[in-house]
Structure formats: structure tokens, C-alpha cells
Structure 1
Amino acid sequence: MEKTKTSPLSFIKKWCYDKRLYFLVFFLPVAIMFSAYAFFKIHPIGDSSVLVLDLNGQYVYYYEQFRDAFHGNGSFIYNWSRNLSGEMFGVFAYYLASPFMLILVLLPRTMMATSILILQLAKIGTAAVTFMFFLKKISVQKPKTISLIIFPTMYALMSYMVVQLMDPMWLDGLIYLPLICWGVHRLVDEGKLVPYIVPLALMFIAHFYIGYMVGIFTFFYFCWYCLSREGRILPKKFFSRCVAFGIGTLVALMCAAFVLITVYNSLKLGKFEFTDPDFSLATQFDFLTFITKLFPMSYDTVYPEGMPMIYCGTAVLILVPLFFMNDRITMKEKTSTGLLTFLLVILMYIKPADMAMHGFQVPNWLPYRYSFIFSFLMIVMAFRAFENLEGITAKNIGGIFFGLMVFLFWCERENYSHFQLFETKTSETGDTTNVIQGIWVSMIALAAYFALIYLIKKYPKSKAVCIVMVGVLAVELFANSADTIDKIDTDVAYSKYTSYEPYMTQTRNAVSMMKEYDPSLFYRMEATFHRTVNDPIGTGYKGISHSSSTMNAPALMMLHKLGYAYGGHYTKYDGTTFMTDALFDIKYLMDKTGNTSFVGTRVKVPEEYKLTTEYTEGDATYKFYNNPNALGLGMVSSPSIEDVSLSEDNPFENQNMVFNALAGTTKEYFTKIPVINSEMENVSTSQLTDGHTKYFPTDTSIAECHIDYVVKMDKDSYLYMYLPTKYERSCNVWIQDEDDYMDGSEPMEYAGQFFVGDNYSIMNLGKFYEGQELRIRITVANDDNEAYWKDQLFYTFDYDSFAQTCADMQKNVLEVTSFKDTYLEGTVNAENDGSVLFTTIPYENGWTITVNGKKVTAEKSLDSLITIPLEQGENKITMKFSPDYWKVSLIITGFGVVLLVLIFLFEYKRGKVMKKVLAKANFTAENSENATTPVINDTTDTTDEPLRIYRPDNDDDEKLRHINEMMKNILGEDEDSGKNDK
């Protein structure tokens, strides 16, 4: 009979039907989470968005840039919109390496916020699918259908997942963890490496940081499985499996080397020194509070003092104790699993151990970033107990239920702030309502699961009970997800959708218009407004403002010492002066009128900058002002610029030093003016040993607490202020003409805040005339009722002298003749021998530089910027960014992939493929046809058997025998493993 051909459509229908349970498991948690988002009115349902915390301030902008690079409008390797410029390897590996990023680049740009929502839901569904796959594979018998629905759904909507939707790149860990653990099973049971190597390598590629945590747990899981599996594992076999585990891990690391090596070099630029960790022994929580986090609606905070996010379903709380009471689960498995669970708790409980899990750093917000591993283990134990309900009694279930209810009553007495009976909500109209909270929901859920587990034990084939259980679980997970979203909004606030769009589209269009208006190959631009400091990288202009965990620390510190706003991992175009605008080639300053959202008050367009063009879209008009003093990407200087050392306390003198060194002058562009009078009201002071003065209220019952400084202008000029400190405490600044103050006719004018984050930078107090006396008031305005600074610096600026110097310097600036993100060419004329080209490109390894065709070594100025030695006369400069470590990483990855392919060929179908490959390569000569293929006796229990290696019968085939022996040693095959090969 002829076989009937199956049409592609029929095949797809059959495949979808066969995999219907996977589809159900994918879409069930997705539907629950989307319903929770809809309840909170997340766009497209309402005006809220998924943008919150770093997802709002950082990641979405990287997604915008990644989309540009993907479509050919930028580079994956280097970017000129981050803190002057910098490599993008670290940003890619830290935030963008997940394959799910394709969702963001393939959907329309105007859908970015919605695309992120789709990405989040896709990761939730995929995590459920991989966990279901894992549960099916580890089950000795075919698992209950209800088990394959409820436990993956719990896994996909554990509290960690719901909270960390704000950090989408971490969620790949929940997707790959079940696959990696299944790979460990295959390695131990069968000696196969490929099922272990592939998901582990993908995990390291998707996110090295979470991959590091998963990798540590994988070792623990490997040891656990060797100890807990049925049967006795011989020491020799255990050793061989350890060797195979090590080899598999090494190959996975090699395959991911193109990410791991590049991100390591990126982190060396500053992230490793970002914190000064304290490894002293300490504990981090009490265990009873820890247990409360296992219950629903127990979100506390994402601040550093937060507890682990470990809730994964109320049913788990009943089933995990039943796991240890179950007669059908071996004592060996119970003991080893209990030890592994205890180890995970200790890792969270002991501070140095927790820091080790975080890469020997203290997490900056969002602590216990690996707590999903604990939830994973809890759900696996619950699954094992649920699959073996025959091994427990009704008394066991009732006893656990009673104990948990007693604990909940005790929690109510303790009055935990994050775990209560009710929460009082106040509406916009002022009405108050009581909303049930975690304790009540837990009691209801426990009662429901107590009854349902008992009924499933008694009526295991009842579909009605199973449907009810799925419904109860869906309601519980919806309630927990919606409550978590609401509490996150209270804690750190979700952004409105309308705060992102149309702002981003309008700003991007305005920038594009400006690029068409001035098509020069290179110039920088900044703005008087910022939605966040990552506006430049998100909207496509070359700027100074940027925030990232993978930062070039020396460049950021240099910008800080010159007076810009700085926050450890970010800088902002706030605190700028004429001099820094010229130095860093800020050719255009963008202002906005009409819709003035995000327009600040600290950065003002100087009257010396002239309006060049403008762009209107919707209710916003973007105006572009030209800076006549911009000095290009680089300028000729004497070598003395390399000797300039910036101080930490005086950005004005730092700017004077830099500019004089570059221009070869000795002028005072900034001039310090003295304080002619100072007054304090309700202020006491004390002197610290490090030079700081502490200011604090004499009487805390009096609200007013301020210090007044009176200064006299020495010229017509802008007046700048800076208060150097290491201890930032927020203060308010006010200013008024001294005569007006004495008259008392008008109130003082509010100038803004000083200190703390964006506000700790040079403050431009306005433009005043020579001889004018001004009163500057600083009020202590923080909860600590204190402020510290070393000195009060007031400076004026000689603009005319500065502008003349700039005009002279512009004759010897780098003329860029060719520009790409990773390559540029330019020419510059050096009048004197020994001159250098001072550039505003941050120094880092990877630049190859030639001068007149000769390779030169880059030097460093201001501890952070590239300086290039020049020859006298005309110089042709080329600069190419292609780090050696990038090439090395690709080579190592190539070797890793080759090893993976070789291992696959040996493992696939017991080496049949490798036999054919070797035969075609003429390794087996004419005897290859006589080689036999091993057949496994179906009656033999191969659960604990290692991988079979193809064994030739012809003893003359030495080459093939040698290769097989080598692979046998690598994979740890026993000497007698071929006894069943007949």
C-alpha cells in the first residue's frame, strides 16, 4: 500500500493538537498576568504603562538604541550617545542579549511600551512551558494532567516573576533553569552532555549575571541528584560524572565566551569598583518573617532592605510538608532535598554568602536576585508530593492545614506591615475602603486547597475537582499579581504611557530634522529637558547624559570634577558652563516650548547662543541654539594637558586649568568672588576632621533654618555657585538683589535644589551686572535636618576673553573627514613638534590609532580621555575601535561550538552519525562496512547506564578506536559498559 501524503496544513493541525497541553500552559499564565495588567489599566487598556524603575529609566532607552542598530542605524559595538561615548558590549550583554529582544525590534517603534508588555508575557508563557517539559521528563510515571497545568502556572507567576517584570533580562533565568536541570539528569543518568551544555550556554549568553547564579545552583543540583537518585552510584562513576559535568560546563562557557569575555572587560571599566562591599558576618532577616513571604500578597519593597520574593502558590505551602511526610518518596530523596533547601535558605540568610551569589557585590536595590531558584525547588517538591498523594493520609493534610492556619493567626497578632488582614485605601475623592490583604487571602486559599487536595486524593479521576482547582489557582495568582502591581506602583511608581509617547517620537523626529539641517559628520548636542538621563541614546543624538551599570568610571568622574551632575553610574547635562560646552563640542542646545513636560529650570539657554532652527510637532516646538565656541572632537595642545590633575572640590579651577593647558594661556576665565557678609538663622555648626562644616537647626521645633551669603559682582556676568561635599543632604537655594531684600518689598526668588543626585552640580544663578550685591540663601530641607559642605564657591565668568581664545583654538581642531560608529578619519595641523591631539573620546582598550599611516599608542589626559601624539605639520588621523578581547572571545566561542558539535556527533544515535562522518573521511578504510552497530537489549534497565560509544569490530581500525577511547574517557564510560552491546 502507498502511504498517504500528509499536507503541511494537516501536519500543523496534528502537531498543534498533540501539543495542546503546552499551548494551554503557555496561555493560561499569560492570560492571568494580562488580566492583572488590565485591572491596573496598563496600556493598551488605560494610560498606565509597564515602565517602572530601571525599565523606565534605562532599559527602554537601550531597547530603542538596539532597535536602531538592528535596522542598520547604529552599532552594537560602540555608541556616541553615552557619557561622551563608549563601548556597547557591556550594555548588550547586560540588557539586550536575550533572543526575546527580537519582539522589540520587529514590532513598530511607536509600539515600544506595548512591545515590552508582549515580551514580558512571552517570557511568562515560555517559562511555564519549559517547566512543564521538565516535570514531564523527571516523572517516573506519566504525570497527572492537572499537575502539568497548575505547577507550571505557579512557576510562571511566582512573586519573583511578577516583581522582576521590571527587569525583563533576568527572566530568562526562569526559562532556562528547568532545561539546565533536565540536562543534569541526562548527564548523570546517561552520560550525555549536549542536553546540559546547550541550555547552560544559552543562559550565559542571555544574561551572564543570572547565568552566574544559575551556574552555582546547577553544581548544587548536580550533587543533589547524584545523592538522591534511586540506586547506588559507584565512586568511580561519580568521579567520571563529575569530570563530565566539569567538561560540559567548560564547553558551555566557551560557547558563551563572546559575551562573557567582552562583558568582563566592560565591567573592568568601573562596575567592579562601583561598591565597596563589607564581607563581615551578619544575618539578613528572621526566619518567621521569611516564612510570611511564602504567602500571597506579601510584597514589601524593592529597596535594599526588602525580603526575598519567594511566594509561588499557597498550595505549595501544604504540599511541601507533605513531601517530607510521603511514604512513597524515599528517605534518601527527602534528606538530600531537605539539605538543598536548607542550603538555599542559608545563602539568603548569611550576608557574605548572599554577596557571593551576587558576584561578591551588594545589590543596589532588588535584593536576593536568585530567589527564584528557591521557588523552583519548592514547586518541584510540591509536584512530587502531589504526584504521590497515595503516600499521605487525610490526617497529614489536615495537620498541615491546621498548623498553617495557626501561623496566620500569629502573623495577625505580629501586625506585619507587608502581610496584613486588611489595608485601608483612600480614593481620589477622599473616601476610604478596607481591602482584604494577604492573611485573609491566605486563609481562604488554604481552606480551598485543603479541600481540593483531599478530594483529588479521594477521587483522582474527577475532572470537576481538577477544573475547580485550576480556577482557584487562577483567582489566587490573579489576586497576588494585581496586588503586587499596585504595591509596586506605591513603592516606586509606574510611569504613565503618555509620559513616553508621544514625547519619544516627537523628540526623535526633532533630532532627525536637526541632523538633516546640519549634516556635519560629527558634533554633539544636548537639551534643556530630559525625560531621563538616557534621552540621548534613546532619541539618537550624541550627548553627555547617560546611565548604565556598565559605565566607564574614570570618564564619569572626570565629568563630575568639571561640575556636571553625577550619580556613580550616570552623568547628566546639568551643571554645564560655556567652557564645558566648548570643550565637549556641544554645538547645539535643544530647548522646548509649548508642551514643556520634562523641561527643567537649572539649564538655561545662554543669550550668547543664537536660535538656528526649530521644529514643531503636535503641541511641542523644539528650538535649536548654536554654540559659536564648540571646539570639535579634538584640538591641538601642548603635552602639558597630560599633566593636569583635577581636584575633587573646585570645578571652576579645574576648568581654568584644563582650558589654559589646551590654549597655552594663563587667564582666569572663572574668577572667585568673596562672600562679603553671611548670616544664619536657627543654625548651629560643627567642624568635622575632614574639612566639612556641619549645619543643623539650633531649635528643631522651628521650621526655618537657613544660611545667607552676600556677594558682590565683579563684572557683568553669570553667577555660578558650587558647594563641595561628600555628604549630600538636600537643600533649597534662593536668591535676591540685596537692595530688594533690605526693602522687603518682594520675596526671594527660588533658584532650585542643591545636593543629591541631579542637583549636585554647578548651579547657574543667573546673569547680573557689575557692582550688584546679591543675597543667596541656602535652607536645610531634608529629613535629617543637617547639611555639610567644605566651602561656598561663587564665581563669575569672563565670556569675552573666553570667546576670543576659542576663536583662536578653532583654527587647530580636528576636521573629521570620515565618520562611522567604530571608525573615524580626520586631519589636523600641528604647528609645533611634540604637540598632541586632545580628544573628548573616553579612554578604553580597543582603539587602533594611526598618525600619517604609522600606528601610535594612545595616551591619556584627565585620567580618562584619549590623547594622540602628533607630528609637526599636517597630520592624518585614523581611529578604529576593534578590541583584541572581542577577537579572542570569538575564537574561543568558535572552539566551543566545534567541541559541542563533536560531542553531539558522538552522542546522537549512539555514535551512528560520527561513524558515517569518519567513514566518509576515510578513517575506517575498507573495513568500515564490517563495523557493527550496538543494539541495546530492551529488557535491560539502562536508567543508570552511561552513554554508549560506537565500538568497531575490526581491531585493525586503530584511528577510530583511538577516538572512541578518547571520548570514552571524557564522557566517563565504565569499563564494563559494553557488556550489553550485542
Structure 2
Amino acid sequence: MKNKLQNFIKENWRYMAASFFIPFFIMVFVYLSIGIYPGSSRSVLASDAFSQFSNFHASFNNMLHGKQSIFYTWNASLGLNYLSLISYYLGGLFTPLVFFFSNQNMPDALYLITLLKIGSAGLSFWFLASHTFDIKKWAHVTLSVPYALMSFATAHSELIMWLDAFVYLPLIIWGIHRVMDQKKITLLFVSYLLLFISNFYMGFMIGIFSFLYFIVRLFTNWKQYKQSILPYGITSLLAGGASMIIILPTIFDLRFNGETLTEVTKFKTEATAFWDIVMKNMVGVYDTTKYGSIPFIYAGLLPLLFCIFYFVTRQTPLKNKLLFGSLFVVLIASFYIVPLNLFWHGMHAPNMFLFRYSFLFSFLIVLLAGYGWEKFKTDDLGIFTGTAILVIALFALAEGSAPTGSYDYISLTTFVITVLFLILYTAGIAFYQLKKIPGRYLSILLLLVVCAEAFINTSAMINGVLDDWNYASRSLYTEPYPDIKKLVDQTKEENDSFYRLENLNPVSSNDSINYGYSGISLFSSIRNRNSSAYLNTLGFRSRGTSLNTRYPNNTLLMDALMGIQYNLSKDNPLKFGYTETARSGEYGLYENSYALPLGFLANESIYDIEQPETDNLTSQSNLINALSQQQQNFFTFYTPIITNQQNVKIEENASSVTYRETQSNVAKEITWTVNVPANTQAYLSLFPTDFGQLQSSTATMMVNGTTQKSQINITGQYYNIGYYEVPTTVTFTVSFYGTEAVSFMEPKVVGLDTAAFESAVKEIQDNSVNLTVSGRKATGTFSAEEDQMVLTTIPYDKGWTAYIDGKKVPIEVFKNAFISVPVSAGKHTLKLVYLPEGFKTGALFFVFCTGAFILFVTTIEKPKRKRARRRQRNRRVK
């Protein structure tokens, strides 16, 4: 076995290296062309890579270095099931490479991992091609390069967690071939298992496609392949069962906290049109990866030609044409029919980055191209040339007949380049057929042309991402890092008990999981929707499905309740009770004297309080009053007076006001004046009447020499205009920018009575339950004078278990959001332990299914070994 492997590598190392390094270095040079390289000023962080993937990979680095548990993180909003986060964002085999990078250098880590995944996809397809297609060895490489650099992969290259799927897909199909042709099952089991563990989302799509592929191939030769049904079925089920160690906890988490299914309200998908399939097969066609895009299906012109040739040559049996053609029909139908499209996405409509399964179309093109290439014979030049002419005619017809304005992103240059490459491929093959080029050189010639085409297309995709999303400057990520990290580390040294911190000038919405502090803000597809929805009720903006939960623009009451003990800020936050305690660079560290601990004692009546979803100030007041057992009137409303306005037309209605710009692309600026009483924390209340109007609208508040900037539709409604010990006339200016008009409920100034606030918070502090957190546990000791509840601000999740004095006790859920535990009078020790729901069962599945697979392999391989030994003995006798 060892000698066989050594001989294989010795014979094929150059082709393997080429399959890996050609796509690798094409990406290197394309990135270099736009100024991205290790240490460059422009980073590889585009789109969600800046706010999500860089921070999530940094958190994985923290986990690898023992700074947090693999099961739970206290640093993603209020707390989160970290294993579920891994299952979607961080499950790949390449992710542990972040161990060798500092969090400050995470842009370089993501750059390297992206290149490695692209190169590995090419190598993976080479293994499939070299064991499947009877063509020249360099031809295998010629197919591997366009697969690794297909438009879907490069146009979505910033979505690094999806790239693992392109590595495993060819191995899974090769594994299916080995099961069907050789009754060897190990590769399929391992590939399926790694895929499902790496990313359950893409794993679902590939799992469906690979099953359909097996069915199609099964019917190409039923008599031969029917015996593979049982091995394939058992292997697939065992691989799926073994992956339950990750998948099962994720399923339970998504069922409790995840997305709701999308309702089917129409038949045809939006933005798709008749010529999409043709247009998106041209070289360098990038429309957008935001809303309104059409599928990215380009996989190279040479694979396209040989794929079509597979269907037109007489050497392909009609049955095979119909069977494999049916896979294309299913995929194309899915692009246009909403229910089918939703099915591939798990019945949940994607948030941008549409048609996420379209890479399967590209893969099928390259796969069938290999089958077409091996059927290409000397006398097929006429058919191949006719195919090329037909493709050129289709591109020309689509370009000429498409409705005006429907494909504006496709230029005449794109069409000309596409036709030139088609002519080059046809000419090269014609010269070979006419014996003008030796056969051993044809594959290398085609490979060179394919590489040139791949470079042009990849460049177009990466530049499309640059225009669409922009690759963020490295300095935006790295420059604030030392100062923020220094101050965060200082807070950790000063505290033993749990506390929370928020940055008023954040690098991104997910800073906390990177720097290792607990906060409020989170932007993630994996989140606790129940607690986030409750936070929205309390004034932390978390609309809709709670994809975004944001800290800015709320009141001191919520700072206290959520245990916000520190703010980082470049300017004085102008908050009552906050005192600057340290400074590093531009950032100051401000400590809050009124932060509450992670838990506090409360009476059972806490469950009966009314908290209207549409009135967060009443929700806040009722909760704080119930916890403090007081009846304070915290908030008073004042009407500010407009004293100046620039570039704005004001339109007043019965209950709302609209500010409309008079000159486009210039900020709408309004200055207000208001009289603020003594001992008052003041806020401007801006509640949008139409959030859809505000997708890119920002508000900038200028008051007392400080500036606050926020995205209106994402952050809360209470814009801080300062704390005042004495009666003060306050003048403040707000600039609105990004949309033609913004509409709000009539703006009011909200005054928080700081004396009432101080009285209530001190009463709650007297009932504190200080908890210390470590890994997936929280512990603390307290005394209760009567039977009460320990209410925490830990998000409730079914994975939590509570122990009082070492005995397991039931957990009660507060407002379907937070953990609370009933306790009797006396001194107690509380311990909360987290283990994702379903993990133990999933681990048992993993052990059982892996063991069953090993037994199954032994059962299959044992007769083979007996036959081999018998043949060996017979040879010795002879």
C-alpha cells in the first residue's frame, strides 16, 4: 500500500502541484492587481468578511489558546452557543491555521486560508478527474483550474466558510464512483463527514445534489450498479449519523433560536430572465451579490464546449443524455421557480448572496465536460466546430435581443473576449485534428489558454467585489487594535466577577468576540433570537429576525440592567455615572458606577410585569421598578425647538415629520434647542416611521463638542445629548445623510431623572448575585432573606443546567429570554453549566456510526482480502 502510494505521487506530483498552485497563484496575482498581498494596506476583508468572518476567526483563535470554551462564548452579545457558531462559520479543516496568527493580523490569516481553499478545490477536482476521465494527464489539470476558479467561488470568495464545500464536492462524487465501480466506501464516508462538520448549510445542498447524482448514475447501468444501493445508502447514513456530533446541537439550536421558514408568495424568482443562463456563461460577467442578482454559473468556455459536446455526440447513449440532462433541468428550474429555489436554501430565503446552490451547475458543467472530452475522437472536429459556432450564435443572439437595460453590466468587450476565446479553443483543437499540433502538446496549449481565460474572469469577479462591497483598508481593522486591546485587558485585570463592556466607536458590530469582552451588539446568522427580541423590547434595536442586535442609542437604565460596567469612547460619552479611568491612544476607558451584576434576587411577581413591545421606555421603567420594588417616574418628555436648518424641507403630518433634502447628496442639517432640568440625562428620540426608507441613511449628532454617528435603521432611537446637574439650555445639531428623505415620529427630547435612576439601581444592587464565569460555567454565592428568584441576564438556552448547593434544580425562563432560578431563603451557591442541547446524543451517534462504519468496511473488505490471498497462493503454486 505504501509503495503504491509512493509510486502514484511520483508519477503524478507535477499534475497535482499544477492543479493546486495554478488557481492558487492566479488568485495571488489577481489580488495583487488590486493591491492585496500579505501586509498590504488594502485587506481581503470585503462585505461580511470585515464585520463577521475576521472577528469569528479571531474568536476561534481565542478558543484555541484556551481563552474561551468550544461550547459557549460570553463574548457574542449577552452569550451564545459557540458550537453552533462553529458549525456555520468556522468548521473547516483550514480554520485552525488561525492559531499561528495574532488577532490583529487576522486579515492575513483569511487571505492565506482563502488561497489554500481555492488551491485545494483545484487539487480535489484533479483527483476526481484523474480517476474518472480517460484523457491526457494535463487535460485533468485543464479541467481542475476552471472548477477551482468558477465564478461562484471567486465572486463569493469573501464568504470564506463556503469555500470548503468546493473542496469536498469532487471528493464526494469520486467517493460515489468508488462505491459504484469498486465497492470501496471509505472515501465517501470521510468526505461526507468532513463536509457536514465543516458547514451544515452547504452540506445540505451538496447532500441533495450528490443523492440525485447517485440516482442518475444508477440508472445509466441499472444491472451493474443496483448492487451499490445498499453500500451507498448505509455509508451515507453512517456519515450523516457520525456528523450529528455537530449537526444535532445545531438543529436543536436553530429550532429554538433560528430563522423561521419563508412563506411562498409567488411562483417565479425575482430579477431572473430568459437569457440569464446564456449571459452568465460569458467571460467576466459580474452583476452583484446583493439583491437582484442572477445565478453565478460560469465555469469556463472550454468545459462549456465539451459539456455541450457530451450531449450532441452520438457516442453518448441517449439514456445518459436524458439522465444527466435532467440534473441540469432541475437546477435551471430552481433558478426560476420560487419553491424549488427555497428548497435548496432550506426553505429560508437568503439575505443577499442569492442562488447559493448555483455552484452545483458549474460543477456539473465541468464534470460532464470530462466525459465529453474522453468521447472526443479524430473525426469529431465538425461536430465540435459546429458546437462552438452554435455557442457563439447563442451569445450573439442573447446580446442582440436582450431588452434594453436588462443586462447593462455586460459590455461589448465582454462579448468580444468570449468569442475570441471560443475561436482560440476551436482553432487549437482543429490544428490538432489536422495534425498540425502533436497530441502531447494540445492539452498544455489548452491549459495555457484556460489559465488566461481564468485569470481574466477571476479579475472581473474580484474587481466586481471591489466595486460592489469594497475591500476594506487594513488600517480600519488593525490600527485601533492595540489601544482597544490594552484597555480591554485592563478591565479583565481589575475584575473577578462578570461584567460587560461596549465600545461607542467600534471597529465593527462584532468587536466583543474578537477582543474577548462581553457586550450587547452582534451581527450573526447564528444568534439567540429570543433574547435578542426581548432586547428589542428594551430599546436595543434588534428588528425582524434579529440578524443585527445593536447597543448604541439606549438609556442608562439598560446600561445598568445589562451590567455595562465600561464604555470605550474617543470622546466623553456624556453619561451620568461614567468616569474616565484610563486612556490609550484615541480611546478612553469610562467606568459606570451603576452597573448591575449578572444576577440579582427578585420576587416571583417579576413575571407579571407588563412590557409593551411598542413602548420600550415603559418596558424599561416597569422592569426596573419591579426589580427595585419602587414606583419611580423615570422619564419626562420635552419638545425641542428648531433654531436652524440647512438643505432641508420639513413636511409635517398629524403624528410624523419628514425631512427632505433640497440639494441631492448633501447632508440635511437641523439644529434644535431644548431646556433640560437639573439632574437629568437627556436624549433626542428619533423613531423612524418607515425603516425601508433608511437602508443607507445615517445620523450624526453634534452636542457639547462631541460627535455621535449611527446608521438610523440599525441603532436605537435615543440619541444622547448629555447629563446636566443644573438647568441648562442645550443646543444640538443632527445631520441626516444617505437618503433623499427621512421620516420620524415627532422628535422629542426624553429626560431621565438621574435621582430616581440612582435610587432604583442602588436598591437592586443591594440584591446582587455576583457571578463569576469561566468557560461554559457561571458560579456565585448569595443569601436570600425569603423564597425568591435569581434573575440573570444570561440568555436562556435549553443547554443550560442549574445547580443550587450541588443539587440540580429547574430553570425558569423570564420573558422567553433570560435564565431565572427559584431559590429558598438562606445562603446558597448557584452553579450554571452549559452544554449544547443534543451534544451528548450527537457524540453517541458519532461513536456508534463511526464504529458501525469500521465494522461495515471490515465486512466488505474481508472477502476481498481472502480472494487476494487465494490469488497470491495460486501464483506461488504455479
| TM-score (ref. length: structure 1) | 0.81
Which residue is equivalent to 1:871? 824
Which residue is equivalent to 1:757? 714
Contact kept? 2:599, 2:768, Cα under 8 Å? yes
Does residue 661 (structure 1) correspond to residue 649 (structure 2)? The answer is: no
Which residue is equivalent to 1:295? 282
The 3 A distance-change label for structure 1 pair 461 and 391 is closer
User: Which of 469, 475, 494 matches 1:498?
Assistant: 475
Where do residues 512-661 of structure 1 align in structure 2 (5 Å cutoff)?
512-516=489-493, 518-566=494-542, 568-592=546-570, 604-606=573-575, 608-614=577-583, 616=584, 620-661=585-626
Alpha-carbon RMSD across the aligned residues, in angstroms, is 3.4
The structure that has the greater radius of gyration is 1
The 3 A distance-change label for structure 1 pair 868 and 704 is closer
Where do residues 222-241 of structure 1 align in structure 2 (5 Å cutoff)?
222-229=214-221, 232-233=222-223, 238=226, 241=228
Does residue 826 (structure 1) correspond to residue 780 (structure 2)? The answer is: yes
For 1:903-943, what per-residue CA distance to the aligned partner results, in whole angstroms no more than 9, with x for missing partners?
Answer: 1111235354xx8xxxxxxxxxxxxxxx99766999xxxxx
What residue identity is the alignment partner of 1:755? I
Aligned partner of residue 157 in structure 2, secondary structure:
helix
What residue identity is the alignment partner of 1:882? L
Structure 1 residue 391 displacement after superposition? 6.7
Structure 1 residue 644 displacement after superposition? 2.6
User: Which of 359, 370, 384 matches 1:397?
Assistant: 384
Contact kept? 1:676, 1:712, Cα under 8 Å? no
Where do residues 218-617 of structure 1 align in structure 2 (5 Å cutoff)?
218-229=210-221, 232-233=222-223, 238=226, 241-273=228-260, 276-284=262-270, 285-390=272-377, 393-413=380-400, 414=402, 437-459=413-435, 461-516=438-493, 518-566=494-542, 568-592=546-570, 604-606=573-575, 608-614=577-583, 616=584
What residue identity is the alignment partner of 1:895? F
Structure 1 residue 900 displacement after superposition? 0.9
Contact kept? 2:179, 2:228, Cα under 8 Å? yes
Which residue is equivalent to 1:433? none
Structure 1 residue 438 displacement after superposition? 1.8
Contact kept? 2:683, 2:750, Cα under 8 Å? yes
Aligned partner of residue 110 in structure 2, secondary structure:
helix
Structure 1 residue 76 displacement after superposition? 0.9
Which residue is equivalent to 1:954? none
CA–CA distance in structure 2, aligned partners of residues 733 and 133 of structure 1: 54
Contact kept? 1:299, 1:418, Cα under 8 Å? no
Structure 1 residue 335 displacement after superposition? 2.1
Contact kept? 2:575, 2:722, Cα under 8 Å? no
User: Which of 75, 92, 100 matches 2:69?
Assistant: 75
Aligned partner of residue 552 in structure 2, secondary structure:
coil
Structure 1 residue 794 displacement after superposition? 3.1
Aligned partner of residue 568 in structure 2, secondary structure:
strand
Structure 1 residue 271 displacement after superposition? 2.3
Which residue is equivalent to 1:597? none
Structure 1 residue 171 displacement after superposition? 1.4
Which residue is equivalent to 1:56? 50
Contact kept? 2:574, 2:723, Cα under 8 Å? no
Structure 1 residue 175 displacement after superposition? 1.2
CA–CA distance in structure 1, aligned partners of residues 487 and 743 of structure 2: 41
Aligned partner of residue 321 in structure 2, secondary structure:
helix
Which residue is equivalent to 2:845? 892
What residue identity is the alignment partner of 1:630? A
Structure 1 residue 397 displacement after superposition? 2.9
Structure 1 residue 328 displacement after superposition? 2.5
| TM-score (ref. length: structure 2) | 0.90
Where do residues 6-25 of structure 1 align in structure 2 (5 Å cutoff)?
15-16=9-10, 18-25=12-19
CA–CA distance in structure 2, aligned partners of residues 932 and 863 of structure 1: 63
CA–CA distance in structure 1, aligned partners of residues 12 and 268 of structure 2: 52
What residue identity is the alignment partner of 1:155? Y
Structure 1 residue 561 displacement after superposition? 2.0
For structure 2, the 5+ residue unaligned runs are: none
Contact kept? 1:412, 1:420, Cα under 8 Å? no
What residue identity is the alignment partner of 1:807? K
CA–CA distance in structure 2, aligned partners of residues 677 and 464 of structure 1: 78
CA–CA distance in structure 2, aligned partners of residues 106 and 706 of structure 1: 48
CA–CA distance in structure 1, aligned partners of residues 116 and 670 of structure 2: 56
CA–CA distance in structure 1, aligned partners of residues 698 and 24 of structure 2: 47
Structure 1 residue 283 displacement after superposition? 3.8
What residue identity is the alignment partner of 1:310? I
What residue identity is the alignment partner of 2:577? E
What residue identity is the alignment partner of 1:207? N
CA–CA distance in structure 2, aligned partners of residues 478 and 92 of structure 1: 33
CA–CA distance in structure 2, aligned partners of residues 588 and 69 of structure 1: 24
The 3 A distance-change label for structure 1 pair 752 and 546 is closer
Does residue 185 (structure 1) correspond to residue 162 (structure 2)? The answer is: no
Where do residues 807-826 of structure 1 align in structure 2 (5 Å cutoff)?
807-816=762-771, 818-826=772-780
For 1:456-499, what per-residue CA distance to the aligned partner results, in whole angstroms no more than 9, with x for missing partners?
Answer: 33447444443332222111111111121111111111111222
Does residue 31 (structure 1) correspond to residue 25 (structure 2)? The answer is: yes
Structure 1 residue 345 displacement after superposition? 1.0
CA–CA distance in structure 2, aligned partners of residues 47 and 373 of structure 1: 35
Structure 1 residue 11 displacement after superposition? 10
Contact kept? 2:576, 2:681, Cα under 8 Å? no
Aligned partner of residue 773 in structure 2, secondary structure:
strand
Aligned partner of residue 801 in structure 1, secondary structure:
helix
Aligned partner of residue 590 in structure 1, secondary structure:
strand
Contact kept? 2:657, 2:744, Cα under 8 Å? yes
Give % identity.
24
What residue identity is the alignment partner of 1:233? K
CA–CA distance in structure 2, aligned partners of residues 629 and 749 of structure 1: 23
Deviates more, 1:779-788 or 1:34-43: 779-788
User: Which of 713, 719, 729 matches 2:676?
Assistant: 713
User: Which of 827, 835, 845 matches 2:788?
Assistant: 835
CA–CA distance in structure 2, aligned partners of residues 100 and 702 of structure 1: 44
Structure 1 residue 722 displacement after superposition? 2.7
CA–CA distance in structure 2, aligned partners of residues 26 and 75 of structure 1: 35
CA–CA distance in structure 2, aligned partners of residues 813 and 704 of structure 1: 47
Structure 1 residue 769 displacement after superposition? 7.1
What residue identity is the alignment partner of 1:383? G
The 3 A distance-change label for structure 1 pair 290 and 129 is same
For 1:811-854, what per-residue CA distance to the aligned partner results, in whole angstroms no more than 9, with x for missing partners?
Answer: 321133x53121122111222x2321111111111211122333
The 3 A distance-change label for structure 1 pair 81 and 131 is same
Contact kept? 1:302, 1:366, Cα under 8 Å? yes
For 1:950-977, what per-residue CA distance to the aligned partner results, in whole angstroms no more than 9, with x for missing partners?
Answer: xxxxxxxxxxxxxxxxxxxxxxxxxxxx
